[in-house]
């Protein structure tokens, strides 16, 4: 197979996204994020990454770090929960419950997780925080890290009207809804018994509660003993319809914001070939439906070749003056590529040629590769980037299938974050 002209294989953090080809640095992407962010490190722990530094995130499979790292590119988000790790604060109202501070090792590897404990009453046992100044009609995502102790189930309640979900921390499953059903719910395993429990709801008010309720055998009214409970850490409320990486908030009532990330400007006019080529990407988007984002081979005035991921689960492929679309849900890691030349082009997804089309006006003046529109500011790409390759010649069908297929069952399992026993 021909050697790629530009190749991004995530291997290092820094002020750029560093490409392995070309070796002179002209293929590096200019990176920006104006705040601290967090990532999962090679030990499987959540840690801070300094402002302006790219984030190399390591995938967790069944709570264990496995596989190659990827770059994270995320939109700006604000954690609106003051005291996201200190549940003893008065902002968290206690209802027939108490908090034992710094009682367990948290997902960041330190002794800073609290324990939520019931009392002796025959009633609900919970804590809640009320948040105002929200946007009526908007979607919000509620998440918290939870670990079972004597209590194995938790109810996460939010939104208005009251929408919530009960999670089983032994089985790692969603059990059912509380009062009314959220837009979506999911549970993700982070290792050492810790799960991130997530619900998404739509507000019908400008305020919301964030409630954590102890459950026994799927019932939240029971007689407590004053000692039983579970561990909690890292509560987060963010505007948006999907969760992003954890943002600590140590008491800021206005919220703590992680800035948006951009990666732009790789290559130059000598890197690219207008008449033919291949652009290949391996990614997992932040949502299965996409988020109206782009990856583009651009000139000074337009995108000449690009992927555009719409929120409706559609990939719009542009080559020159042609822009056909393909329906696809990005539920897992996906390999896809565009190959163009001689007035026609193909879209390959996970080893299959899923779209063939033609163009009458060819790409012209390509001089950069961006995780965005050509102007750097519109349609920034948000997702995990496992690899990106550009070839300045059109490869044959066998090579295209090889680039986008899972070479073996183990390769597929690793890429899709499954475990082979």
Mean pLDDT of 349-370: 96
Position 187 pLDDT exceeds 80: yes
Please report where in the chains the tokens 């490869």 appear, as a residue: 395
Of 250, 256, 257, 243, nearest to 112 by C-alpha is 250
13: in domain: yes
Residue 234 has what pLDDT? 98
- The DSSP symbol for 216 reads B
Q: HSE of 188 in the Cβ direction (CA atoms, 13 Å)?
A: 17
Q: Quick check: is 185 in a domain?
A: yes
Residue 420 counted as domain residue:
no
Q: pLDDT tens for residues 119-162?
A: 999 999 999 999 999 999 999 999 999 999 999 999 999 977 67
In this prediction, residue 407 carries a pLDDT of: 66
pTM: 0.93
Write phi, then psi, for 301 (nearest 5 degrees).
-130, -5
85 and 223, same structural domain? yes
Q: Which residues does residue 364 pair with via DSSP β-bridges, in sequence order?
A: none
Task: Among 238, 258, 278, give the residue marking a domain's end.
Answer: 258
Classify residue 137: in a domain, yes or no.
yes
Q: Any idea what the Cα angle at residue 116 is, between residues 112 and 118, rounded to 5°?
A: 155
Is the same domain home to 403 and 353?
A: yes
Total number of domains constituting the chain: 2
Contact (CB, 8 A) for 89 and 177: no
Same domain? 292 vs 348: yes
Does residue 37 contact residue 245 with C-beta atoms inside 8 Å? Answer: yes
- The residue among 230, 229, 175 whose CA lies nearest residue 199 is 175
**Cα 216 from chain centre:** 31
| pLDDT of 415 over the 80 cut | no
Task: Answer yes or no: do 216 and 270 share one domain.
Answer: no
Residue 49: what pLDDT? Answer: 98
Q: What is the mean pLDDT of the chain?
A: 92
Domain of 351: which CATH number?
2.60.120.200
Q: Is residue 151 part of a domain?
A: yes
Q: How confident is the model at residue 288, as a pLDDT?
A: 65
Mean pLDDT of 76-80: 97
Is 289 or 330 the better-scoring residue by pLDDT?
Answer: 330
Residue at a domain's end among 200, 228, 258: 258
The answer to whether 8 and 388 have CB atoms below 8 angstroms apart is yes
| Overall average pLDDT of the 241-253 stretch | 96
Phi/psi of residue 251, nearest 5 degrees: 125, 10
* Same-domain pairing of 253 and 267: no
Do residue 207 and residue 275 come from a single domain?
Answer: no
Summarised one tens digit per residue, pLDDT across range 331-341 is 788 999 999 99
Is 421 part of a structural domain of the chain? no
122 and 249 housed in the same domain: yes
Q: What pLDDT sits at residue 419?
A: 42
pLDDT in the model for residue 101: 98
| Tokens matching residue 406 | 């899972």
Q: Is the pLDDT of residue 418 over 80?
A: no
Say whether both 16 and 62 belong to one domain. yes
pLDDT of residue 223: 98
234 shares a domain with 124: yes
The residues, any chain, with a CB within 8 Å of residue 294's CB and separated by 6 or more, are 303, 306, 307, 308, 309, 370, 371, 372, 373, 378, 379, 380, 381
Position 289 scores a pLDDT of 63
**Lowest mean pLDDT, pick from 51-55, 65-69, 149-153, 259-263:** 65-69
Does 205 map to a domain? yes
Q: Out of 234, 258, 282, pick the residue that ends a domain.
A: 258
Cα gap 398→402, rounded to integer Å: 6
pLDDT for res 408: 41
Q: How confident is the model at residue 61 (pLDDT cuts 50, 70, 90)?
A: confident
Task: Give the max Cα distance, the chain.
Answer: 77
Beta strands at 56-57 and 163-168: parallel, antiparallel or unpaired: unpaired
Same domain as 331, residue 253: no
Whether 209 shows a pLDDT value over 80: the answer reads: yes
**Is the domain of 168 the same as that of 276?**
no
pLDDT of residue 88 exceeding 90, the answer is: yes
Domain of residue 131 covers 78-258
Residues 105 and 208 in one domain: yes
CB of 117 closer than 8 Å to CB of 103: no
Sequence-distant (≥ 6) Cβ neighbours of residue 93 within 8 angstroms: 127, 128, 129, 130
Residue corresponding to tokens 């980037």: 385
Q: What is the CATH number of the domain that holds 247?
A: 2.60.120.260
In a domain, 269, yes or no: yes
């Amino acid at each position: 197979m021909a050697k790629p002209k530009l190749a991004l294989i995530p291997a290092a953090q820094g002020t750029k996204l560093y490409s392995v080809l070309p070796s002179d640095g002209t293929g590096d992407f200019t990176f920006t994020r104006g705040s601290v962010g967090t990532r999962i490190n090679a030990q499987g722990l959540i840690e801070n990454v300094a402002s302006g530094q790219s984030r190399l995130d390591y995938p967790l499979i069944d709570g264990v770090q496995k596989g190659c790292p990827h770059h994270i590119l995320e939109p700006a988000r604000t954690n609106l929960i003051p005291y996201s790790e200190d549940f003893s604060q008065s902002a968290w109202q206690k209802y027939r419950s108490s908090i034992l501070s710094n009682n367990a090792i948290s997902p960041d590897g330190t002794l800073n997780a609290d324990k939520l404990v019931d009392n002796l009453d025959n009633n609900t046992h919970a804590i809640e925080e009320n948040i105002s100044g929200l946007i009526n009609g908007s979607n919000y995502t509620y998440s918290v890290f939870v670990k079972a102790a004597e209590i194995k189930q938790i109810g996460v309640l939010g939104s208005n009207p009251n929408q919530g979900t009960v999670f089983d921390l032994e089985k790692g499953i969603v059990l059912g809804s509380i009062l009314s059903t959220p837009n979506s719910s999911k549970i993700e395993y982070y290792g050492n018994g810790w799960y991130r429990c997530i619900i998404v709801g739509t507000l019908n008010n400008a305020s919301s509660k964030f409630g954590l309720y102890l459950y026994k055998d799927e019932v939240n009214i029971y007689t407590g003993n004053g000692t039983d409970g579970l561990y909690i850490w890292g509560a987060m409320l963010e505007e948006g319809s999907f969760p992003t990486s954890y943002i600590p908030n140590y008491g800021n009532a206005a919220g703590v914001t992680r800035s948006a990330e951009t990666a732009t400007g790789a290559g130059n006019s000598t890197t690219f070939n207008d008449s033919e080529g291949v652009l290949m990407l391996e990614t997992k988007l932040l949502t299965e439906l996409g988020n109206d984002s782009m990856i583009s081979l651009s000139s000074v005035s337009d995108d000449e070749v690009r992927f555009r991921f719409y929120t409706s689960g559609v990939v719009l492929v542009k080559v020159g003056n042609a822009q056909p679309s393909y329906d696809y849900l990005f539920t897992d890691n996906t390999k896809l590529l565009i190959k163009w030349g001689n007035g026609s082009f193909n879209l390959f997804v996970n080893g299959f040629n899923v779209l063939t089309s033609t163009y009458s006006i060819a790409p012209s003046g390509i001089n950069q590769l961006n995780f965005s529109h050509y102007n750097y500011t519109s349609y920034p790409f948000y997702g995990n980037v496992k690899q990106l390759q550009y070839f300045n010649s059109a490869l044959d069908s066998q090579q295209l299938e090889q680039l986008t297929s899972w070479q073996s069952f183990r390769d597929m399992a690793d890429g899709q974050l499954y475990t082979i026993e």
